[in-house]
Amino acid sequence: MDARQATQTLEVIRTLMERTTQYQLLTARASLVAGSLAGAGALAFLGLDAADPGHFGAVWAVVFVGSLAATVVGTLTRGRASGEEVWSRQARTVLFALAPALFAALVLTVFFFARGWHLWLPGVWMLCYAQGALATSAYAPAPIRWLGLAVLLLGGPTLFLSPEWSVGMMGLVFGAGHLTLGAVLLTRERRQASLRLHTDVA
Amino acid sequence: MNAIKHLFADLDPLLHERGRMAIVSVLAAVDSLTFTELRDQLEMTDGNLSVHLQKLDEKGYVAIDKKFVGKRPQTTCRLTKAGREAFTRYLDHLEAIVRQGRTKPGA
In terms of Cα–Cα distance, which of A4, A62, A35, A80 is closest to A170? A35
Spatial contact of A30 and A185, defined as CB atoms under 8 Å apart: no
Please report residues of B whose CB lies closer than 8 A to that of A18: 29
Is the pLDDT score of B105 beyond 60? no
Mean pLDDT, rounded, of chain A: 87
- Helical H segments across A115-173, by residue range: 121-135, 142-160, 166-170
Q: In this predicted structure, what is the pLDDT of residue B4? A: 59
Model pTM greater than 0.80?
no
The string of pLDDT tens digits covering residues A105-147 is: 999 999 999 999 999 999 999 999 999 999 988 777 788 899 9
Q: In this predicted structure, what is the pLDDT of residue A198? A: 43
In terms of Cα–Cα distance, which of A186, A167, A187, A145 is closest to A39? A167
Which whole number is the average pLDDT over A44-73?
94
Is the pLDDT score of A152 beyond 90? yes
Q: In this predicted structure, what is the pLDDT of residue A141? A: 78
Please report residues of A whose CB lies closer than 8 A to that of B43: 198, 202
Mean pLDDT, rounded, of chain B: 86
Q: Do B18 and A6 touch (CB under 8 A)?
A: no
Please tell me if residue B97 touches chain A, with a CB cutoff of 8 Å: yes
Q: Smallest CA–CA separation between A136 and chain B, in Å?
A: 16
Q: How far apart are CA A26 and CA A75, in angstroms?
A: 6
Q: How far apart are CA A78 and CA A84, in angstroms?
A: 8
With residues binned 3-state (H G I as helix, E B as strand, rest as coil), the percentages for chain A, rounded to 5, are: 85, 0, 15
Please tell me if residue B42 touches chain A, with a CB cutoff of 8 Å: yes
Please tell me if residue B9 touches chain A, with a CB cutoff of 8 Å: no
Q: In this predicted structure, what is the pLDDT of residue A197? A: 46
The string of pLDDT tens digits covering residues A155-193 is: 999 999 888 899 999 999 999 999 999 999 888 777 666
